[in-house]
Amino acid sequence: MAHRHAVHDNHLADLMLAIGHKARAAQRVLANASDVIKTKALKNAAHEIRAHAGKILDANALDLADAEARGTKGAFLDRLKLDAARLEAIARSIEDVAALHDPVGRVLDTWTRPNGLRFERVATPLGVIGVIFESRPNVTADAGALCLKSGNASILRAGSESLRTSTEIAQAMRAGLAAAGLPEDALQLVPTRDREAVGLMLSGLEGLIDVIVPRGGKSLVARVQAEARVPVFAHLEGICHVYVHAKADLAMARELLINAKLRRTGVCGAAETLLVDEAVVSTHLKPLVSALLEKGCAVRGDATTQACDPRVTSATEEDWRTEYLDAIIAVKCVAGLDAAIDHIEIYGSHHTDAIITDDLAAAEAFMNRVDSAIVLHNASTQFADGGEFGFGAEIGIATGRMHARGPVGIDQLCSFKYRVRGTGQIRP
């Protein structure tokens, strides 16, 4: 039995290494492909998805049936399900990526040294990007398209529940690449449900994978961050704050808060904690809490917040650290700007935080001192989205300290190199 297991492990390791080598070879071609060719490949991919709609939807029906048989319910099934309209949206999103500017080869900076050497910093692809995601089969298309446009090969590991659907989408996209004269292996889907494949990707496949991007729930992202031997673009949680400052307009605060919390509760940019300045507790707290409650949002608050409405339940220490992803919010009254910033530093996740105020100096201080990937002044935290930034699309949101922070679009999927031009200079 042990021998059989070892043979299996070796087979999987060989399979994954072969995928890695093919990706690396394909990426060398892709890195120097013109924008015309990459755009053509993506338009072809969208066409192939439409042409094979029946096949993709049949595969999705089988994935759904299996998921239902396992007792899967609700939101998870909805994320997995495709229909004609959703498939058309996937094709359109690929065309949207095709229409974006080519980020590769952009000259980011130039300068000349006293010795006459001319320097250029130029955008280059990252290389081979491993994307590990859960149930949403549209990620196959979104991630594959973004990687391709930015000159990167992609190795996609779909959730086991969406493998059939994702395989068909990937095959259609590969056909699109081939029709444009690009190597199909620039986009590969791992052809197994074996969870060990994830571990092998996280190891970096002996240096063949340059970056890992996880798309999924907290447990997946936590595993990736714990085990990855290569850089990771990800956020673990979106514990986002709205701070209503002493100089906040109440009407604006109410509107922004309702949007930040309730527009969509399940997105990573949804507000999870409301901080209210003690200076406006008497005027702002009750109206804001009432507005949330009237919209069906449960409120968990500190003693001051509980005193303003009997429907408010007591907040625990854990509530300040919780990403609810639901119609629940924690509310705390704070003694001014410094206290708000301190709270965010202690309990936040460095994702997205907002201040509502008419005091420009307070806004600047907040945005300079809060160490989050996205900080906003008088705007909803739900703008934490690559499309809203004008990036066209995003592969995810990152909260790390590397060059990619916030929404990770095509520009962030590039690194750079230096081109140096001389006229015979030698170093003394």
Q: What is the mean pLDDT of each run of 10 residues along the chain (428 residues)?
A: 58 96 98 97 98 98 95 84 96 95 97 98 98 90 96 96 96 98 98 95 97 90 93 92 98 98 94 98 98 98 97 97 96 98 97 98 98 97 93 88 89 96 97
Which residue from 334, 331, 388, 379 is spatially nearest to 355, judged by alpha carbons?
379
- Determine the pLDDT at residue 404: 87
The answer to whether 38 and 65 are in contact (CB under 8 A) is no
Q: How far is CA 131 from CA 14, 65, 244, 274, 323, in A?
A: 19, 25, 38, 33, 24
Instruction: State how far the Cα of 65 lies from the Cα of 125, in Å rounded to an integer.
Output: 39
Instruction: State how far the Cα of 48 lies from the Cα of 228, in Å rounded to an integer.
Output: 34
| Strands, E assignment, 245-339 | 271-277, 298-301, 313-314, 328-334
CATH 3.40.309.10 intervals, the chain:
240-386
The answer to whether 162 and 135 are in contact (CB under 8 A) is yes
Instruction: State how far the Cα of 339 lies from the Cα of 327, in Å rounded to an integer.
Output: 26
Integer-rounded Cα radius of gyration of the chain: 24
Instruction: State how far the Cα of 262 lies from the Cα of 277, in Å rounded to an integer.
Output: 22
Which residue from 149, 136, 139, 120 is spatially nearest to 40, judged by alpha carbons?
149
Q: Which residue has the tokens 């109410």?
A: 254
- Determine the pLDDT at residue 2: 52
Instruction: State how far the Cα of 77 lies from the Cα of 60, in Å rounded to an integer.
Output: 11
Cβ-proximal residues to 313 (8 Å cutoff; 6+ apart), any chain: 298, 299, 300, 301, 306
**Residues written for the chain:** 428
Instruction: State how far the Cα of 96 lies from the Cα of 177, in Å rounded to an integer.
Output: 16
What does the angle CA 331 – CA 316 – CA 365 come to, to the nearest 5 degrees? 45
Instruction: State how far the Cα of 53 lies from the Cα of 85, in Å rounded to an integer.
Output: 11
Instruction: State how far the Cα of 364 lies from the Cα of 342, in Å rounded to an integer.
Output: 16
Residue at 9: amino acid letter? D
Domain formed by 240-386, architecture = 3-Layer(aba) Sandwich (3.40)
DSSP SS3 for 105: coil
Q: Cα(first)–Cα(last) distance of the chain, in Å?
A: 66
Structure tokens at 7: 């043979």
b/e map 282-302, b = 16+ CB within 10 Å: eebbeebbebbeeeebebbbb
DSSP SS3 for 214: strand
Q: At 122, phi and psi to the nearest 5?
A: -125, 135
Residue at 104: amino acid letter? V
CATH 3.40.605.10 intervals, the chain:
2-233+408-418
SS3 percent helix, strand, coil of the chain, rounded to 5, is: 45, 20, 35
CATH code matching the domain that covers 2-233+408-418, chosen among 3.30.1340.10, 4.10.520.10, 3.40.50.2000, 3.40.605.10: 3.40.605.10
- The 8-class DSSP code of residue 316 comes to P
- Determine the pLDDT at residue 5: 53
- Determine the pLDDT at residue 95: 96
**pTM (2 d.p.):** 0.91
- The 8-class DSSP code of residue 315 comes to P
- Residue 102: how many CB atoms within 10 A of its CB? 17
Cβ-proximal residues to 119 (8 Å cutoff; 6+ apart), any chain: 109, 110, 111, 112, 113, 418, 419, 420
Using DSSP bridges, classify how beta strands 414-421 and 118-125 pair: parallel, antiparallel or unpaired: antiparallel
Q: Which residue has the tokens 């007591």?
A: 314
**Three-state SS sequence of 68-88:** HHCCCCHHHHHHHCCCHHHHH
